[in-house]
Amino acid sequence: MPLTVVGLNSFPVKSMLGVAHERLGFDARGAVGDRLWALRFTDGKLASGKNNRRFRRVTGLLEHRAAYDADGTPVVTAPDGETLRPGDPRIPERFGEGAELAREDGASHQDLAAVSLVGTASLRGLGDLLGDADPVDVRRLRKNIVVETDEPWIEESWVGRELTIGGAGAAGPLRLRVTQRVARCVMTTQAQTGLPADGRILKTLTAARGMCIGIYADIVTPAPLALGDTVAAR
């Protein structure tokens, strides 16, 4: 059976919930609009679920959902239904002094590559490692592309190879160069809308998988994708 795309996701604001798509464009930067915005503080750090040289931990980010309006402006919807746009004075009140919704400028908001991908069999594989009857919920991993697969971790064999996805439209297929496995962080364990906190995930990945699940890839040839598109590795 051919490998097919069963999930397409973008995250307009880094470290917040995003949007599931039936069709999603990809440009030279990655999924269109993905992580193009972030909560940024006056010291230059970005809001995240962790603290380090680049990030500042802000609790509750994964209870906020971001999407673009018809004008391409990011709109953040809080758990209480309040909506926030860039420049709103309520942003620092909610997230901390100096916080603002800032568009990417010189430094990329992405981590190590343009696109992230995971196979469904790997979600089942991690569920098995956790001792759960169900696959791990893909929402914890925040991947751009989810591919229906039969063999756990098979996507890791694509590192250094090129993927061709889709191609039915005039734009032709999306071509990706797979660069590396994705090392996960504490964000996978945190509570988000519809999912409780689960500290087992990162501990299990660390012990059994070198902290990794899924792959990163860079764009070779941009093109839109749709659910059901086929995937070929070469």
Q: Tell whether 24 and 45 lie within a shared domain.
A: no
Q: Is the pLDDT of residue 102 over 70?
A: yes
Q: Tell whether 125 and 96 lie within a shared domain.
A: no
Angle, nearest 10°, between helix axes 120-130 and 200-209?
100
Q: Tell whether 27 and 128 lie within a shared domain.
A: yes
Q: Is the pLDDT of residue 122 over 70?
A: yes
Q: Tell whether 168 and 127 lie within a shared domain.
A: yes
- Which residue, 84, 103, 122, sits at the end of a domain? 103
More confident call, 212 vs 107: 212
pLDDT of 112 reads 83
Block residue for tokens 């996507």: 155
Kindly list the distances between the CA atom of residue 96 and the CA atoms of 36, 76, 204, 230, in Å, as whole numbers in the listed order: 21, 16, 33, 44
Can you give the length of the chain in residues? Answer: 234
In tens, the pLDDT along 29-40 reads 999 999 999 999
Q: Is the pLDDT of residue 170 over 70?
A: no
Q: Tell whether 225 and 162 lie within a shared domain.
A: yes
| Distance from C-alpha of 93 to C-alpha of 132, rounded to nearest angstrom | 39
* CATH number, residue 193: 2.40.33.20
If one counts the domains in the chain, the total is: 2
Q: Tell whether 227 and 175 lie within a shared domain.
A: yes
Kindly list the distances between the CA atom of residue 192 and the CA atoms of 18, 37, 74, 142, 168, in Å, as whole numbers in the listed order: 12, 19, 20, 12, 36
Which segment of 24-28, 125-129, 171-175 scores lowest on mean pLDDT? Answer: 171-175
Q: Tell whether 87 and 7 lie within a shared domain.
A: no
Q: Tell whether 119 and 199 lie within a shared domain.
A: yes
- Which residue, 52, 82, 103, sits at the end of a domain? 103
Domain with 22 in it: 3-31+111-233
Which segment of 49-58, 143-152, 163-172 scores lowest on mean pLDDT? Answer: 163-172
Q: Tell whether 27 and 42 lie within a shared domain.
A: no
Confidence of residue 169 (pLDDT cuts 50, 70, 90): low
Q: Is the pLDDT of residue 106 over 90?
A: no
Q: Tell whether 150 and 188 lie within a shared domain.
A: yes
Three-class DSSP category at 120? helix
Three-class DSSP category at 180? strand
- Which residue, 103, 123, 154, sits at the end of a domain? 103
Q: Tell whether 116 and 95 lie within a shared domain.
A: no
Q: Tell whether 51 and 20 lie within a shared domain.
A: no
